[in-house]
Structure 1
Amino acid sequence: MGRFTIEEFIQSTAQDDSAREYFQLESDRMLEVNLDGMVWMKAGAMVAYVGKMKFTREGLLDQGLGSLLKRSVTGEGARLTKAEGAGRLYLADSGKTIQILRLEGDSIYVNGSDLLAFEPTVEWEIKMMKKLAAVVSGGFFNVRLSGTGLIAITSHFEPITLRVRPGQPVRTDPNATIAWSGNLQPEFKTDVSLKSFFGRGSGESIQMEFNGEGFVVVQPFEEVAMNHSAGG
């Protein structure tokens, strides 16, 4: 186990030539984009490409937001790269698990740091969450994606989706929340009695509360904000 000749290793790890879908998982942690035109991807997510492509970095927050607000959001999570051309593009994000979703006239919110790529046919809009600025790793914004097309999101390990039903609100740890249905608007709750349970190690007691009807996607991992000490 784990011992190969070079030829055996090449064969066992070779990219799959058998299918040519626009978004295709080479593994659960590597996305292949069969590009013929344009795709949006997270800045820094490209690991390799074959073919002729042009890459342009763009600020994710350039859509009508003031310069002060732009300066207040830093890091790779606040930027997108536009890839244009033809060929095969390989994307990954710190070994996180990748899920491919198809929008068919519906919408979803995705945490900015968990959005890997999406088709240019998908409409997108930035939403700020200032109350979470000190709590959420990788920024405090999310992206509302809507319309028709493919999107790829990432999570640490396998995510789980929780149903939100009327009269049955769902509360989540912001650092474990990666996506939710586009019709839901989370409220932010502070419950001191839950401080020792939510936000372990961050010293925070803020939770996201979802009311109505929809879904919330969480991961079995907490991305603790870098600007927080362990004791809060």
Structure 2
Amino acid sequence: MITVDYRRLDVRPGQRLLDVGCGAGRHAFEAYRRGAHVTAFDTNADDLRAVGGMFGAMAETGEAGRVGPAGPLARATTVQGDARRMPFPDASFDRVIAAEVLEHIVADTAAIGEIARVLRPGGLAAVTVPRWWPERVCWLLSDAYHANEGGHVRIYRRAELTDRLGGAGLRAAGRHHHAHALHSPYWWLKCAVGVDRDVAPVRAYHRLLVWDLMRAPRTTRWTERALNPALGKSLVLYVRKPADA
């Protein structure tokens, strides 16, 4: 389930790309397929082991991208650490992705500052967070949805997130957009019945989402694209570090 538009982020072979809070690796894998040199960064050692294993499998089966048509395979590695204090030199990466990460971090200003620090001057970053109003519905329906260890600690409005990124020297680069409209009703339903309850309507909706993810039929893809401006669960912003930074 990809949230970031790689065309807007302008991901190209040979670029150094950091996936902050990579989780299960969905964005890291796509960047690797496109030939970027990927660093998957997270606090969770178990997730990173699985991501590293998938990197190896992609290289063995020919799914990893190459640096140029006849060039060597792109590189991919995993690094464990804290997004508030990343172990990378300044200007280490051409592209940075931080997808659904900042809403989990109390000291988000420190994490945003680190994203700006490790991005090279002129580089682009994609930052995604839950959209304000679908997320607000979830919070109203269920405390268990967010009030848990590692849960969401805030809900961003777009202007607020833009200001925070701007405070770190990152400037808007292209239009924002929204993603995953079909997921908003799923989470509302799950919150309404209880996030820990395995009931038939939730299972049925989850099967629909998995089917859509695996098959990507035109009908649901068109439907989601049409609904994303109004119903999209994720907000996606693209920012650039000024070349003279």
TM-score, normalization: structure 2?
Answer: 0.23
Higher strand share: 1
TM-score, normalization: structure 1?
Answer: 0.24
